[in-house]
């Protein structure tokens, strides 16, 4: 019963919750790693959001290639991430953290009401945009580099909690939930220029984008089965119906 009440609360996008979410994010902006050290830390907020992870395919091989030029590796990575971050921001997403060579971003968890209702569409638009921007970067730099950067994306949607994680000595704003875990697992299976998404995400965008149901139904570390769909983008363009 309690779990159902939490989910219902998340889906309702209560204005008070959105206000607390805005306050929580502003408090983190002001205090940074000392979020839990000061007084008056807002309580965690449960909301429904879409979670997006990106990952460069074959990055380990790329780091080996730059074994004697780590500064050059950083330049390449930042050129890619600059375009990823911009694509996410344009679509109203929040980059929550950098995860190795990729990012974790949320849509619908910023606390801004006008960005909450269509968070699934925004996440998908960001995925299409960042894959397209990365392809443009390849067209510009691949010949000079001698290689291409290939990126995959994982997207899931569902209830999450946003709150302070850590201790008074070191803390950060965390986003936790099943959707976060699922999206993080999906991106590990996404091929170059592919978006892997859950059925929840797919059914929101099915009328606009062509995607195929995969034969994958399990996510490592999670007992329940899922519908998982794949959308392939070539040259930064999706297959439009």
pLDDT digits (tens, 9 = 90+) for 170-193: 999 999 999 999 999 999 999 999
Q: Which pLDDT does position 195 carry in this prediction?
A: 95
Whole-angstrom distance, CA of residue 53 vs CA of residue 49:
13
pLDDT in tens, 59-83: 999 999 999 999 999 999 999 999 9
State in Å, rounded, how far the first CA of the chain is from the last one: 41
CB 151 within 8 A of CB 192: yes
Show the low-confidence residues of the chain (pLDDT under 70).
1-13, 212-224, 234-241
| Cβ-contact 17, 109 below 8 angstroms | no
Q: Which domains does the chain have, with CATH numbers?
A: 2-232 (3.30.70.1230)
- Distance CA(175)–CA(183), nearest Å, equals 12
> Distance between CA atoms of 144 and 104, rounded to whole angstroms?
29
Q: How far apart are CA 195 and CA 175, in angstroms?
A: 21
pLDDT for the residue 238: 43
């Amino acid at each position: 019963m309690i779990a159902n009440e939490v989910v219902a609360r998340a889906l309702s996008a209560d204005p008070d919750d959105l206000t607390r979410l805005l306050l929580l994010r502003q408090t983190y902006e002001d205090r940074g790693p000392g979020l839990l050290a000061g007084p008056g830390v807002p309580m965690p907020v449960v909301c429904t959001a879409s979670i997006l992870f990106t990952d460069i395919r074959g990055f380990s091989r790329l780091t080996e290639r730059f074994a004697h030029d780590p500064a050059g590796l950083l330049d390449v990575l930042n050129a890619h991430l600059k375009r990823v971050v911009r694509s996410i921001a344009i679509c109203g997403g929040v980059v929550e953290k950098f995860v190795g060579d990729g990012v974790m971003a949320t849509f619908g968890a910023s606390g801004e009401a006008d960005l909450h209702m269509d968070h699934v569409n925004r996440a998908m638009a960001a995925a299409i945009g960042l894959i397209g921007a990365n392809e443009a970067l390849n067209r510009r730099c691949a010949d000079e580099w001698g290689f291409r950067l290939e990126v995959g994306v994982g997207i899931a949607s569902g209830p999450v909690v946003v709150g302070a994680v850590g201790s008074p000595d070191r803390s950060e704003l965390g986003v936790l939930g099943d959707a976060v875990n699922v999206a993080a697992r999906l991106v590990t299976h996404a091929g170059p220029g592919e978006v892997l998404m859950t059925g929840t995400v797919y059914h929101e965008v099915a009328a606009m984008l062509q995607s195929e149901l995969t034969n994958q139904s399990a996510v490592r570390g999670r007992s329940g089965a899922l519908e998982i769909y794949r959308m392939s983008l070539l040259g930064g363009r999706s297959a439009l119906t």
